[in-house]
Amino acid sequence: MPETKKRPRATPRAILTFDLDCFYASVAIRSRPHLKDKPVVVVQKHLCVTSNYVARQRAHGAVQKMTPVSKALRACPDLVQIDGSDLTPFRAANAEVMAIVRDFLQSRVTTLCKKLAQPPFQSPCQRQGLDEVFIDVTQLVAAEISAGGRPYRFEGHVFGATDDDDMHRTLMVASQIASELRREISTKTQLTLCAGVSDRKLLAKLAVDMHKPNNQTTFLPGNAKEYITAMPPRKLPGFGYAMDTKVQAWVKEAPGRPEISTAGDLVHRFSDGRKGLQELAAIVGTEAVARTVLGLCQGEDDSEVLESGDAPKSMASMDSFRSCTSMEDLRRRARERSTDLVTRLLRDGQRFHRRPRTLTVGYRFRGGGYHGAMRATSMPAVVSSLSSSKGGDSVDVCIGAIQKAILLVLREHGNISASSTFDLTLLTVGATNFTNQLASNFTNKTLSGNENNASLQGIANFFRKSDASVTHMPQTKPTEPSLSIDSPASSPQATGSCPICDHKLPPNIVLATRHVDRCLRGKDVTVKAAKTACNTRRVDSFFSKR
DNA sequence: TCGTTAAAG
DNA sequence: TTTTCTTTAACGA
């Protein structure tokens, strides 16, 4: 018998989603207090990407996301424009918020677990863009309830009718945690935010928009199905433009097909067992997608909150323009992208002790559709030794090397050269496939504070990738001895205790890793849960204890 | 491993 | 409506 029967979860989860209020505008105004009561928009190219509430009010709805500056200016002539083309301050503000969230959760867990004499755990945090985060506080709520002392009531708005059972008590405590965390964040950053609380990401996400700004809503799952089936499916997170287009195309494809204007319509037409599923699969691509979509349309969502960690998995720099037809112009733009990327790579390397192995180049010809093309090549070798050496010219060398690589890709795959005519509208350059750099200059560094390091990153990656069928080591290239974590001579020392069993760990990082790995397997825990449980942050924080 | 598509903010 | 500047995941080859 295959175990494909799916069962409902044994215990209800508690999921929070936070959404910073008009994030870009708030961050921009925070550093310019004199603009506090002025109508403000943050501008990229000729578009307003965000506005504050003063601007929205004044323009009476005419200033929205992605409104052309000219139009916004007509609606509100005294609009203050702030350039938002450099994302650095927004990335920094995001990091600030994430750090506060993690510190808050960490200290709660620490005190509660001590009190309850129970091993510590972590609460996964998933970054969603720069202004949103999902948090799974299931275990934290459970610990809070065990510890007692919480009044059984909701904090903030509630959507739906409550009841006197476990799930509702869970969500009550979750709403209290959400409220406390919101207060903590807005006190420390001067940024306000909304929270959505529910037992799954889908509902938490829908809840977060129900009362804005600076407020929170708990979505009681009992009301999910009727609420969601009445919505246009396109409004559901996960049901995007492409899906909507395909479904609507199907509707119009043949006469007599039913209108699909609500999620309920879709469920009604396609949830008729296996046949309906296959019909939907034919429209949306795969059966897996069909199943998820059908679930979404009924308010179901099993997806986990995935730990994002501190280090991004890829990095890109993009420029869009009306036209680029000369090599001279192209070279200049390529250098610009290259400079931006190298600058960020340098900082990333200082923080995470890693270098990208792959360079991606994206481009689009005028009239060449939405996506354009994307190519990947190996990163120029000089980048592996990128550093801000005082005397050296490493940065400039890297910028030049990447610029050259971009031009080469465009020549080879886009047929763009001095002897061809072309017209580009987009150039993207990105770095991916990060691997740890364990150089001699780093080996002797002490482990401390927020300073992440290469070996820890290696371990984190190892856990992330570990799989029931795979025995042990990460699948790094054998040709890269400097990356392996099994070279005790150059590995930093681990101290502290196992995040699973709390035993003291051996100082050798390889042995420590092995121990934690065994421990994970020893526990009756699914691989998926193990992956979620053992993430960068957690491993980092446990291994880097002074 | 490379490259595309889709989704999200 | 595909417009800005990203980041991530799933999937096919």
Round and report the angstrom distance from CA (A376) to C1' (B1).
Answer: 10
Residue A344: per-residue pLDDT: 94
Nucleotide nearest to A44 (CA to C1'): C4
Which H or E element spans position A421?
Answer: none
Half-sphere exposure of A24 (CA within 13 A, CB side): 20
Q: What is the pTM of this model?
A: 0.81
A430 touches strand C (CB under 7 A): yes
List helix spans (H) across A259-356.
Answer: 263-270, 273-284, 287-296, 327-352
Of the candidates A317, A301, A189, A324, the one whose C-alpha atom is nearest the C-alpha of residue A238 is A301
The answer to whether the beta carbon of residue A373 comes closer than 7 angstroms to any atom of strand B is yes
Count of CB atoms situated within 10 Å of the CB of A144: 21
Q: Is the CB of A283 under 7 A from strand C?
A: no
Q: What is the rounded distance in angstroms from the CA atom of residue A361 to the CA atom of residue A376? A: 6
Q: Is the peptide bond prior to A213 cis by the omega test (within 30 degrees of 0)?
A: yes
Q: Find the residue closest to C4 using CA and C1' atoms.
A: A44
Distance A343 CA to B5 C1' (A): 29
Instruction: Look up residue A379 and give its DSSP letter.
Output: P
A237 touches strand B (CB under 7 A): yes
Measured CA A315 to C1' C6 distance, in angstroms: 8
Q: Does at least one atom of strand C sit less than 7 Å from the CB of A319?
A: yes
CA distance A235 to A198: 18
Q: Residue A66 CA to nucleotide C3 C1', Å? A: 7
Measured in whole angstroms, the distance separating CA A86 from the mean position of its chain's CA atoms is 19
C-alpha–C-alpha distance, residues A198 and A178, integer Å: 11
Q: Is the CB of A88 under 7 A from strand C?
A: no
Are residues A324 and A330 in contact, defined by beta-carbon separation less than 8 angstroms? yes
Give A37-40's long-range contacts (Cβ < 8 A, gap of 24+).
Answer: A38/A78, A38/A80, A39/A63, A39/A76, A39/A78, A39/A79, A39/A80, A40/A79, A40/A80, A40/A81, A40/A82
List chain A pLDDT tens, one digit each, 546 residues: 344 445 667 789 999 999 999 999 999 999 999 999 999 999 999 999 999 999 999 999 999 999 999 999 999 999 999 999 999 999 999 999 999 999 999 999 999 999 999 999 999 999 999 999 999 999 999 999 999 989 999 999 999 999 999 999 999 999 999 999 999 999 999 999 999 999 999 999 999 999 999 999 999 999 899 999 999 999 999 999 999 999 999 999 999 999 999 999 999 999 888 889 999 999 998 888 999 999 999 999 999 999 999 999 999 999 999 999 999 999 999 999 999 999 999 999 999 999 999 999 999 998 877 778 999 999 999 998 888 877 667 899 999 999 999 999 999 888 999 999 999 999 999 999 999 876 533 333 333 333 333 333 333 333 333 332 222 223 233 323 222 222 222 223 333 443 433 344 444 443 444 434 333 333 322 222 333 333 323 332 222 222
Sheet of A40-44, strand order: A67-68, A47-51, A40-44, A80-83
For strand B, which nucleotides have at least one atom less than 7 Å from a protein CB? 1-9
Whether the beta carbon of A133 falls within 7 A of nucleic chain B: the reply is no
Contacts of A439 (CB under 8 A, 6+ apart): A482
Q: Nearest residue to B1 (CA, C1')? A: A376
B5 C1' – A371 CA distance, angstroms?
A: 9
**Whole-number Å distance between alpha carbons of A173 and A208:** 17
How does strand A354-365 pair with strand A80-83? Answer: unpaired
Torsion of CA A502, A505, A509, A512, to 10 degrees: -60
Kindly determine whether the C-beta of residue A306 is less than 7 Å away from any atom of nucleic acid strand C.
yes
Tokens encoding A443: 């080996």
Which residues lie across from A400 on neighbouring strands?
A: none
Q: Which residue is nearest to nucleotide C3 (CA to C1')?
A: A66
User: Which two tokens mark A180?
Assistant: 């406390």
The token pair at A130 is 């720069």
Query: Distance between CA A116 and CA A341 in Å, rounded?
Result: 47
Q: How far apart are the first and last CA of chain A?
A: 50
Q: Are A435 and A457 in contact (CB under 8 A)?
A: no
Closest by CA to A179, choosing from A160, A151, A148, is A151
Q: Is residue A24 within 8 Å of A42, Cβ to Cβ?
A: yes
Q: Which conformational region is residue A273 in: left (phi greater than 0), alpha (psi within -120 to 50 degrees), or beta?
A: left
The Å distance, CA of A321 to C1' of C3, is: 12
Mark residues 38-67 of chain A whose C-beta is closer than 7 A to nucleic acid strand C. Answer: 44-47, 49, 66
For strand C, is any atom closer than 7 Å to the CB of A524? no
Is residue A208 a contact partner of residue A223, using CB atoms and an 8 Å limit? no
| Strand C bases contacted by the protein (CB, 7 Å) | 1-12
Q: What local confidence, expressed as pLDDT, does residue A6 receive?
A: 55
Distance CA A181 to C1' B2 in A: 42
The reported pLDDT for the residue numbered A526 is 25
